[in-house]
Structure 1
Amino acid sequence: MCRAIATAAAALAVAAWIPATAGADSGVVGWDGTNPFACTLQQVGGGTAFPEPNADPFCVEYDKRHQNVDKLGVVDFLSKEPRRFSIASGKCFYFQHDHWVGSVSEGIPQSQTYAWDGDYYFDKAKGTGGAYVENFSIAGQSGDPTLLPGFPSQYKPFFGDGRGGVRIDNSVPADPSCAAKAAKHDPYVTSGPGGGSGGKGLDRCRVPGGTADRGIGGIRLGQTRSSVLRTLGPPTKESLLYVSYCMTGGGRLVAGFSKRGGGGHVLLVLTNSPPFDLRDIRAGDSTRKARRKLRHSHRLTGLRRGRDPLVLRTRRQYLVVGTLRGTVRFIAVGAPKLADARLKQLLEHIPS
């Protein structure tokens, strides 16, 4: 019975983002989930503590993978949905990326009821919206979303086994005030350097390169969050204690702060982009080379992920080199008086 109820809930959740009807003149085309807006993807996990609640475009990523029945995870999930819908409803430009897993008992794979990753958006300036799902499964088996009860027949050509998406004209009421807002400040993704759009196919990543010292890539230790945003522009992703910028050619540049809000100071700057170096150590180098270049370093043990980095404290900064299976995965610099426990905490909670 629990499995049947949970599966029905999955059907309702997907259907909520795919309108059952559209205007007679509505255009329906396939959509791959690419974020159309130039925005920062606010990462809030399973909560509703938004770093920038007044942003518009408003782009957010949710973790909805703890919808278990036995520990009332699904009840906790449902209790937070009204706040999520409320903040979305007042926006002109909205994009959401999320991850869903439902289960009878979390941690027991056989009890999984549904799972998928989704992207959804609406644009009140144009009156358009879309929904995209991938990795869709029911009871642990890849499934076809079109088999869900009430799935609109006109959208079936755009979905297949485990994935699919549509963009629909006239799916939301066009708002003249949103059109005026778009004319004044372009909300859409455009080419050029700077921050990131927070979606797939980013084309606004920063150009990497330089040496790590009292900072990396234009982010300095001790700098306030407000100053970082003024200097580098909107980040690709943002959470309460972190900002992250994508790098051209792959990788990212991440800053961790002392506290939430614009007054928080940079405690840690980290990158996994190879053009940056720390004492001639780059992501992709061998651990042996890192040990040779970072003499007198030691392992910072006790990280839950088991990826204990090499560290060396100096008067100017705390040097950090993350390694895994004989290869350097990232380089970082921390505030010189940063406590080991705080460094571990910052490394453990860096958003993906």
Structure 2
Amino acid sequence: MTLALLAIAMLAVVISQTTVATALQKKETGDSTAGSAETPASGSPDVLARVDAEARRLLTEARDRLFQYSSVQARIAEQVSFPGRKFNAEGTYIAGPFPALRLEYEVQVGRTTGKLLQVCDGQILRTRREIGQAGGAADPAAEALDETARSTIQVTRRDIQQILRATQHRQQVPEAVLAAELGLGGLPALLAAIEKSMTFDAIRTEEFEERKYRVIQGKWSDEFAATLQQQLRTGVPGMKQFIPDRVRIYLDDENLFPGRILYLKESSDDGERRTYRPLLSLEFRDVVINAPVDPDTFRYQAPPGVDEVDETKEYLKLIEGADIATDEAASAN
């Protein structure tokens, strides 16, 4: 899965490893997207190209502003609705002086819990994914883990400074910089992953909870959709129902902070109008920008006996590949 699907992938793992007897009840919020209908994107290729370009400009500016803040603190609220199953997940997002970061949230289905933690101290970004039993032995604060609990925890690491150095002479290669941002974690990575994998066909202004937002909407790019279809054919049966068809990003009209991201699933299509239902809603609430943060927030100690998988080389290859592809395209022209 790409980072853009990180939240959905995490929840899908929880669902695939347990039989859900009772689902957590989703608090009704009057979401205007439930059962929303919209006309399929139309217009000349030139018009759609301009919309796509403007959406990418807004996303780039939104990412740039995130890098400029001395800190961002917010609560995370997720609402997930799969056929016959509804869940809530909560967590926190804290970004300090770039690239310091702490992102964590938890979802529970019956007695099974799924937890995600990302921590960056400015040098190393660690991501821990954990599947365990509520009240069981899989406790990150425990001094020792038994074999069963240990098998449920995966920890990866990336050398952020090494990734950033790889783009120092590539600042004029947007795809290479975008690939680097995929490795940074947090909101910049999420926005970079969405931009890299989608084609945008709509931009509008909308009010949500008394704030004005620039709403960008997109669908999977042809290239990414083909890759996704191949993965679905060879992956876990039934995964298709967890994959969204469209994404909407709500950028605050004042500061372009991505306060809300909706992943939508097509529910009907009569040939003229398509109806989409929310598959996952990710909201950042009580956002505080540029307030002091305790440096200890960005420190992390891996549980004893859990190995870390280094992903740095994978992102360096993405950057190099994007650089080479850009050079080849320039030579061809």
Question: Bigger radius of gyration, 1 or 2?
Answer: 1
- Category of TM-score, reference length = shorter chain: under 0.3
More relative contact order, 1 or 2 (CA 8 Å, 6+ apart) = 2
Larger fraction in helix: 2
Larger fraction in strand: 2
What TM-score, normalized by structure 1, do the two folds share? 0.23
